[in-house]
Structure 1
Amino acid sequence: MTIHVFAGPSLSRSPVLALDGVCPHPPIAHGDLYRLRLSGEDTVLIVDGVYQHTAPIRHKEILELYAAGVPVYGTASLGALRACELHGHGMVGLGTVYAWYQDGRVISDADVALTHGDADIEFRAFTHALVSVLSVTDRLVAAGRLDATAASDVVELAREVHFSSRTNAALLAAADERGTGAAMRLVVDELRGDRLGDIKRIDAEAAVRDLLAGAAPEPPAGDVTVPLTSYRREWRLQHTPATADPDGPTERQVLAYAQLFLPDFPDRHTAHVLGNLRPEYPEIGFDDLPPAWMDGLSPDELVRRRILAPGERDTLDEKERALRVLVRTFRRRSGRLVYEEIPPELAADLPELTGQSARLLRLTERAMWVNPKFHPGDVPTQQLDDTFAALWRTDHLPTAVLDRGFRSLGEFREQARPYFMAARAVVAMNDAPRPADAAL
């Protein structure tokens, strides 16, 4: 059995991460459970997780993993919170912080939140979590070193300081203003790493050791049904690796590569749409367009909605116009997604597409390494649009992105940004003068 431990500051430099059977990962984020392709031979322990700048782990991701037969445990920090939220639905909570969430002593995300560094400094914590202050005051009261009233005052003061600012200095300054400086200094001194330890670390280390020893409670038996919503389908596509390599391109990145760079993808997309619609809507005569549903959709209205390009209003006959509208407005059931998986028609080309996608994404990574100030997210939208309009040789980008299976300009831009450097290079090569064109 392998225990996949998602942890950051709670287990920074902890020896338990080096124990046999433990596979450490950074704090968990949305999509990580899809990325790993776990099986019933694995166990997941969620300790720390990220949010705010990165989407947090979703409840349905955890439930889907449990439904697939992978035990999921939570402790100490975000893991304890998620375990409490999913109590009775398959996730198992461990430790003191989890028990506090269960009995209502702590209720907020902010009660376990803190700021910390990145992996290069081993996720060292910069501030204190409220649960750490709670644990220390409990310990001091039990030892007779702090009375209950002073402990309560210290906890309430710490609660008022935002988690991102809850440093030793900030806590002491706030306490001095309230006249509780002596009690706070006692608490801050007890929070030192060389004392008995932080409650989040104590919980997390105990959870790892219990799981390795087989001493943790078994997940509850029973079937869990997770609704297969369009969001779950989208998450799978976005985060599942296209190959067994968890660090390789995701299925969504490979599909985006095909949409962006295959010259014939508009034809492939049209065939894909018609192939999916024919069996589902046999009453529509796809070979005898336009059907009745086109009634009332005037060419001017379609141009206004950017479903037709202005030039197409007069150049396309009624049948061609209906086909373009059908393809450009196609959505899977529920009405959100155009693609929810890599289409079967690309299966034969998948190894080559994955390799090409990986090479182009590495080009972007190289550009970011050479110029630390560059990030594809900072590329001006107009420059991004102009580059792909030149690549596709189109003067109407809104309809061109629909012809390539993107549901909107927004989705196109999101998927195109990581490939901007590659697209710009291709456009530059296409525009470069040929030897026969060179001036003497």
Structure 2
Amino acid sequence: MTIHVFAGPSLADSPVLDLDGVCPHPPIAHGDVYRLRLDAGEAVLIVDGVYQHTAPVRHKEILDLYAEGVAVYGTASLGALRASELHGYGMTGLGTVFGWYQDGRVFSDADVALTHGDADVDYRAFTHAIVSILSVADRLVAAGRLDPDLASRIVELARTVHFSTRTNRALLAAADDAGLIGTMRLIVDELRPDRLGDIKRIDAEAAVRTLLDGGTPAQPAGEVVVPVTSYRREWRLQHTPATDDPHGPTERQVLAYAQLFLPDFPDRHEAHVLANLRPEYPQLALDDFPPPWLAGLSPDELVSRRILTTGEAATLDDRSRAIRVLVRTFRRRSGRLVYEELPAELSADLPELIRQSTRLLGLTERAMRVNPKFHPGDVPAGSIDAMFAALWRTEELPTQVLDRGFRSLGDFRDQARPYFMAARAVVAMNDAQM
């Protein structure tokens, strides 16, 4: 069995990551479990995760893994926190920190939080977590080297220092002000790897070895019913690679390429909606035009909602107007999503769509390497709108966005950002040919 271990500072330079059967990954973030495309029978151990500048792994993602038959374990840090939150719902916790969350001794996200570096410094920790200080204090008390009252005071003092600045120097400065510098010096000295060490590392290494030995079975599959929500479908589409290459474009990026760059995608989208209306909404009276619900909406109201253009409201007959409104307002039964997966209609073109989306996304990656200050997330919304309006040669961007299957201007901008450089190149090439 392969154990996919998501770890950073808790296992920096640890030899357990080189053991047979261990597949190491960086600290887990939102979407990572989908990028791996794991199979039933594999196992995931979550140790560390990111949560500040990147969205953290969501509970529903972990439940999604469990529903697919993947054993999910948590320990030491964010993994222990998530395991305590999902205990009894498909995730198995291991180690001392997990036990503390279970019995209420620690309770906050901040109790395991710390600041650490990136992969280029092997995720080295720059600050200390509360659980690390708590563990050393416990062991010093058990060895008779620290008074229990002083241990409690030193832990509470450490809590007053924000996790992002909880360095040795900051802890010692706070202790000096409180008259506890001798006790705090003992604590930080014992946190060294060659002394008592960090409970996070102790827990994480023990968890890896336990799982390799087959010592802790996961919760049996099928005991928890995991609902299939629109968020689960959206995240799966957004983060699942379109091929076996985890670094290639995701299924959502391939779909976005088709929506943004295929000239005939509005026609494809209209055909897709009309083919799915009756299966999705069997109660809808599609044979009656205009539908009763549309009769209550005036053309002016549809224009004000940016569902029709002024010209369409004035010139379209009732049937054409109804179809246009149906296509532009279509949502799956969840009420949120237009597309929950790559549509079957793109299957025949999929290899070429993947190739082209890979090539165009590469333009953005190249721009970021050439200019480290450039990031597609910083491109103003107005620039994105103007670029794709020029690409599509339209003055009615809000309705064109809906015709291409985006649920809103915001959704369009989110999906278009990684392709902004490609759109600019295509528009420049078209202008040069005119």
Q: What's 1:235 paired with? A: 235
Q: What's 1:369 paired with? A: 369
Aligned sequence identity (%) = 79
Cα 1:283–1:79 change in 2 (3 A) is closer
1:141 deviates by 1.3
- Residue 131 (structure 1) aligned with residue 131 (structure 2): yes
- Whether the 8 Å contact between 2:72 and 2:218 is mirrored in structure 1 is no
Counterpart mapping for 1:55-134 below 5 A: 55-134=55-134
Distance in 2 (alpha carbons) for counterparts of 1:406 and 1:146: 62
Distance in 2 (alpha carbons) for counterparts of 1:97 and 1:278: 52
1:217 deviates by 3.8
Q: What's 2:389 paired with? A: 389
TM, length-normalised to structure 1: 0.96
1:311 deviates by 2.6
| Partner-residue secondary structure (3-state), 2:5 | strand
| Partner-residue secondary structure (3-state), 1:174 | helix
1:226 deviates by 0.8
| Partner-residue secondary structure (3-state), 1:432 | helix
- Whether the 8 Å contact between 2:44 and 2:72 is mirrored in structure 1 is yes
Structure 1 unaligned runs (5+)? 435-440
Counterpart mapping for 1:243-262 below 5 A: 243-262=243-262
- Whether the 8 Å contact between 1:67 and 1:223 is mirrored in structure 2 is no
Q: What's 1:379 paired with? A: 379
Counterpart mapping for 1:14-413 below 5 A: 14-220=14-220, 222-281=222-281, 284=284, 286=286, 289-413=289-413
Distance in 2 (alpha carbons) for counterparts of 1:289 and 1:49: 53
Work out the number of aligned pairs and report it.
434
Q: What's 1:432 paired with? A: 432
Distance in 1 (alpha carbons) for counterparts of 2:101 and 2:128: 18
1:278 deviates by 3.2
- Whether the 8 Å contact between 1:49 and 1:78 is mirrored in structure 2 is yes
- Whether the 8 Å contact between 2:116 and 2:126 is mirrored in structure 1 is yes
> In the alignment, residue 57 of structure 1 is paired with which amino acid?
V
- Whether the 8 Å contact between 1:290 and 1:323 is mirrored in structure 2 is no
| Partner-residue secondary structure (3-state), 2:183 | helix
Q: What's 1:438 paired with? A: none
Distance in 1 (alpha carbons) for counterparts of 2:128 and 2:149: 21
Q: What's 1:437 paired with? A: none
| Partner-residue secondary structure (3-state), 1:156 | helix
| Partner-residue secondary structure (3-state), 2:310 | coil
Structure 2 unaligned runs (5+)? none
Distance in 2 (alpha carbons) for counterparts of 1:40 and 1:32: 16
1:366 deviates by 0.7
Cα 1:279–1:135 change in 2 (3 A) is closer
1:224 deviates by 2.2
> In the alignment, residue 414 of structure 1 is paired with which amino acid?
D
- Whether the 8 Å contact between 2:126 and 2:167 is mirrored in structure 1 is yes
RMSD between superposed Cα atoms in Å: 1.4
| Partner-residue secondary structure (3-state), 1:311 | helix
| Partner-residue secondary structure (3-state), 2:271 | helix
Q: What's 2:420 paired with? A: 420
> In the alignment, residue 89 of structure 1 is paired with which amino acid?
Y
> In the alignment, residue 337 of structure 1 is paired with which amino acid?
L
> In the alignment, residue 76 of structure 1 is paired with which amino acid?
A
Cα 1:282–1:29 change in 2 (3 A) is closer
> In the alignment, residue 3 of structure 2 is paired with which amino acid?
I
Distance in 2 (alpha carbons) for counterparts of 1:42 and 1:71: 7
1:316 deviates by 2.4
- Whether the 8 Å contact between 2:91 and 2:218 is mirrored in structure 1 is no
| Partner-residue secondary structure (3-state), 2:44 | strand
Distance in 2 (alpha carbons) for counterparts of 1:427 and 1:376: 17
Distance in 1 (alpha carbons) for counterparts of 2:281 and 2:142: 71
Cα 1:272–1:121 change in 2 (3 A) is same
Distance in 2 (alpha carbons) for counterparts of 1:279 and 1:43: 37
Moved more, 411-420 or 217-226: 217-226
1:296 deviates by 2.0
Cα 1:251–1:299 change in 2 (3 A) is same
Distance in 2 (alpha carbons) for counterparts of 1:379 and 1:137: 49
| Partner-residue secondary structure (3-state), 1:256 | helix
Deviations 1:353-384 (A, max 9, x none): 11111111111111100100000000111111
1:267 deviates by 0.4
Distance in 2 (alpha carbons) for counterparts of 1:330 and 1:205: 50
Moved over 6 A (4+): none
Cα 1:247–1:291 change in 2 (3 A) is same
Deviations 1:158-205 (A, max 9, x none): 111111111111111111111111111111111123323200000000
Distance in 1 (alpha carbons) for counterparts of 2:94 and 2:285: 59
Distance in 2 (alpha carbons) for counterparts of 1:218 and 1:387: 51
- Whether the 8 Å contact between 2:285 and 2:291 is mirrored in structure 1 is yes
> In the alignment, residue 361 of structure 1 is paired with which amino acid?
L
1:414 deviates by 0.3
| Partner-residue secondary structure (3-state), 1:289 | coil
TM, length-normalised to structure 2: 0.97
Deviations 1:245-289 (A, max 9, x none): 111111111100000000000000001110001345566554663
> In the alignment, residue 205 of structure 1 is paired with which amino acid?
E
Deviations 1:305-327 (A, max 9, x none): 11112232223233222211111
Cα 1:281–1:125 change in 2 (3 A) is closer
> In the alignment, residue 432 of structure 1 is paired with which amino acid?
A
Moved more, 368-377 or 183-192: 183-192
